Structure 1
Amino acid sequence: DRGPLCYPFTEDVRLNSNRNWFSVCVHKYLCKRLLTSTRTNRIFNMAVAQNKSGQGDFLSVLTSKKALAQAVSGAAAQVVATLILFPLDSIKIMVQLDHSLSAIGILREHIREGKCGRLYHGISSKLVQSPQQKFQYFYMQTLLKTLYIRYTNASTIPVRDSLALGFLAALQGLATTLPLDVVTNRMISRAKNKSAGGKEKAPSMLETFLGIWEHEGFVSFYRSLNASIILCINPAITYVVFDKVKAWVLNKKKGNVQYLTTFEAFAAGAFSKAVAATITFPAVRAKTRMTSSEKIHNSEEPAPGMIRILKDIVHERGIGALYTGIGPQIWKGVLQEALMLAVKERIAQVVTSMILGSEK
């Protein structure tokens, strides 16, 4: 018995088999390799058996102070990174939506018109979405790693299994983070399209959310679900690479050193994010298009999916156009992830000592 984990994915494959073959392939792979592997089933069965016999304590794992410390430090660090680098996020989205624009051109235009504040349009929803996403990810990632090590008695986690655990940690947060991501991108898109002389007040986060729900329907918040599922591998790659680099650096040091210096964490974070961003950028661009475009509620014409968007881009401008805007994406992603991980290393020391006390 492969367990119930794969049922939602197999059902989704049956429902969408005629619409999106690429997502079907991805779902089949996840179901076969990540969720129903022999190793995963063995861990699950051992966990259930030990819990029934009283040998395991799932409650202690679910309420892990170590997981809480990682989640709090990650969320706090993400707030700092978002406040500093959100204008780069706005510029990145504008370039991805309009290939005729350049990052330098957008920045010069806003400086010349004295309207740099527009680059912060949408930060309210981002300040809710990003910390929430990091909190959920680091909390679940730490729990999954703890369960893995406890029920396999392994001293280290193989790269393949680390990617699987990271993917699952990112996957569980999509239900709450996707609507906020749509709201953020829509607010930035409207700020870009707003006329230079317009005096109309920009809609708030709540007004944007309610407007999307009323005119496009609740399902529109999850229009980019397929792309988002695929992009769950992005943080998995980022943090697996970061952990490997961190372990390598710490092994080179003498003594019982547990944390990287600020510069080391920044450099390791920049490298790991650059690797992940380069691999997954076409899906990132498709997701940006899907979350930024508007669709009338009950319209007979279905909203374009990820594969259709990518095909249109290649047909109109060639395969190289799939990487249009990767410059701002790399700069923004690398700087934000590097800054977040550097700050997280420092915050983690304080938070860990506060939450765990003498236990580190």
Structure 2
Amino acid sequence: MRQESPAFIALVQASAGAAGAIVASAVLQPVEVAKTRIQISTGGDDSTWQTIRRIAATDGILGLWLGAFGKCLENGAKNFAYFYIYDGMNAVVKSRMELTTAVKLVLGYIAGVGNTLMNMPLEVLSTKMQLEDAKGLSTLGMLHRILSQDGVGALYTGLGYNIALCINPAIQNTILDKLKEAILKALKRRNPEVTPALTAFQAFALGAFAKAVATIVTYPLVRLKTNLQAGKVPTATHPHAPQAKIERAGSLEQIRVMSFREDKDAEQLTILQRLIELYRGVGSALLKSTLQSALLYMVKDQVEHSVERLFKLSAKGFYRKTGQLKLGGFSGRPLAS
């Protein structure tokens, strides 16, 4: 195995990214559960802390980790797939042309689409597992319920929104890569004799900032997708959009409906109040997504070199110095075609 190959680079980055995602998901699952509950609501309090307290009071402390296994599995798989595709393409393209901001955005979007197509069922499953009616159900039990009640197609609910939302990780990783590149260049100029590397805090801060920008830009579509995956068609006391019409409406109309509240008269809401309502739960989403992204990149950056060393040692165990595979009695012989 050639250490500088795009496949090796992609495998290291993907494994480190998956490890970071699993750690971040496990730590932040209470915020994830609260965020999901807030996003599918259309009235009442949208405070993250109050929602967490309410869940703990009604479901116990374990209720805050409802669907944790599914979420860790989802985020681990999604980040492995994303970083494998993204860093693999980056390594290939970098050898042929300059990686401009526009090129990185395109590569990030393509990686996001590939990741979405592979891991969409896990996302739908983990979203369902965070709802109140998931109490007492295992991940496999929820999967059986979805398949028996709604069929395989239900596992791809909101696929179109997810394809559109692939711009989110594209924005995030482009911002992160550009800022990281600038910081490392500055460190190299300051001390040319030392190979520069981000500290844990720098990786944490860059991950949080990049995710915050991407989340704010795409949040209304994120909230609509969450509603649909949870089986909650947006509703509101809106005289010009009765429920029958809302269910058949397109994305823009459903997003518009989310800017109303079911406990307020539509005519009493100002434009600012409707904008605030449209971004219902953005506080918990920002808290969860920025902390998760920050933890992910911090862990990824710290374990990346350990993962690389592990793969190198593994490679030495399977290959001779000549590059031939060690295969017992077949060692050094070509495999039959």
What displacement does 1:354 show?
2.7
Q: Please list the CA deviations of residues 155-194 of structure 1 after superposition, one character each: whole Å capped at 9, or x if unmatched.
A: xx11111000000001002223211111111121235xx8
2:125 counterpart of 1:229: no
CA distance in 1, matches of 2:247, 2:149: 14
CA distance in 2, matches of 1:221, 1:304: 21
Query: Which residue does 1:92 correspond to in 2?
Result: 35
Residue 70 to residue 323, structure 1, CA distance change in 2 (3 Å): same
Equivalent residue runs for 1:29-178 within 5 Å: 64-98=7-41, 99-101=43-45, 102-113=47-58, 115-152=60-97, 154=98, 157-178=99-120
Aligned partner (choices 273, 281, 304) of residue 325 of structure 1:
281
2:230 counterpart of 1:285: no
Equivalent residue letter for 1:180: L
CA distance in 1, matches of 2:22, 2:248: 33
Q: Contact conserved, 1:266 with 1:338, CA < 8 A, in 2?
A: yes
Q: How many corresponding residue pairs?
A: 282
When normalised by structure 1's length, the TM-score is 0.73
Residue ranges of structure 1 left out of the alignment (5+ in a row): 1-59, 195-200, 296-300
Residue ranges of structure 2 left out of the alignment (5+ in a row): 234-245, 267-273, 314-337
Equivalent residue letter for 1:291: Q
What displacement does 1:110 show?
3.5
Q: Contact conserved, 1:167 with 1:232, CA < 8 A, in 2?
A: yes
Q: Contact conserved, 2:9 with 2:91, CA < 8 A, in 1?
A: no
Q: Contact conserved, 1:224 with 1:305, CA < 8 A, in 2?
A: no
Query: Which residue does 1:306 correspond to in 2?
Result: 251
Q: Alignment identity in percent?
A: 29
Q: 2:44 aligns to what SS in structure 1?
A: coil
Report the structure number with the largest CA radius of gyration: 2
Query: Which residue does 1:187 correspond to in 2?
Result: 129
2:300 counterpart of 1:344: yes
CA distance in 1, matches of 2:223, 2:161: 9
CA distance in 1, matches of 2:308, 2:24: 20
Residue 303 to residue 290, structure 1, CA distance change in 2 (3 Å): farther
Q: 2:215 aligns to what SS in structure 1?
A: helix
CA distance in 1, matches of 2:75, 2:32: 12
Aligned partner (choices 201, 212, 220) of residue 263 of structure 1:
201
What displacement does 1:314 show?
3.0
Q: 2:204 aligns to what SS in structure 1?
A: helix
Q: 1:109 aligns to what SS in structure 2?
A: helix
Which 10-residue stretch deviates more, 345-354 or 69-78? Answer: 345-354
Residue 305 to residue 184, structure 1, CA distance change in 2 (3 Å): farther
Aligned partner (choices 193, 199, 204) of residue 138 of structure 2:
204
2:192 counterpart of 1:275: no
Equivalent residue letter for 1:77: G
Which 10-residue stretch deviates more, 159-168 or 171-180? Answer: 171-180
What displacement does 1:257 show?
2.7
What displacement does 1:139 show?
0.5
CA distance in 2, matches of 1:302, 1:112: 34
Aligned partner (choices 162, 173, 185) of residue 239 of structure 1:
173
Residue 219 to residue 303, structure 1, CA distance change in 2 (3 Å): farther
CA distance in 2, matches of 1:110, 1:190: 9
When normalised by structure 2's length, the TM-score is 0.78
CA distance in 2, matches of 1:79, 1:304: 37
CA distance in 2, matches of 1:74, 1:313: 34
Aligned partner (choices 311, 315, 332) of residue 355 of structure 1:
311
Q: 2:95 aligns to what SS in structure 1?
A: helix
CA distance in 2, matches of 1:287, 1:127: 20
Q: Contact conserved, 1:313 with 1:319, CA < 8 A, in 2?
A: no
